[in-house]
Amino acid sequence: MVELHVIKGKSLVRAWRLYLGLTQQDVADKMGITQASFSQMENNPDKLRPSTFKRIADAMGIEWEQLAED
C-alpha cells in the first residue's frame, strides 16, 4: 500500500482500493454510484469532502482517516 502511494504516486483512495483487491466498479456499486463517478473521485481526492471520504471508506471497509492525505 505504501509503495503504491509513496513510490508510485497513487492517491490514497486508489492505493487502498488496489491493496484491497477491489475494482472501481466494486467500490462504486457499494456506494450506489457509477464507476465513472467513482473514477473522478479517485483521481481528484483533493476536491473531496470529509463526508465523501467516509462513504468511500465505508465501501472499502476501512476507517476514513486512512484515506486522509497529509
pLDDT band at 68 (very low <50, low <70, confident <90, very high): confident
CA distance 56 to 42: 9
CATH number for 2-67 (one of 3.30.1490.20, 1.10.260.40, 1.10.560.10, 3.30.365.10): it is 1.10.260.40
Position 9 scores a pLDDT of 76
Residue 6 is predicted with a pLDDT of: 66
Answer yes or no: is pLDDT of 69 > 80: no
Nearest 5°: the CA angle 53, 33, 65 is 10
Q: Nine-digit cell at 67? A: 484515506
- pLDDT tens digit string along 1-55? 667 776 667 889 999 999 999 999 999 999 999 999 999 999 998 889 999 999 9
Distance CA 62, CA 53 (A): 10
The Cα–Cα gap between 9 and 62 comes to: 20
Nearest to 56 by CA among 4, 6, 44: 44
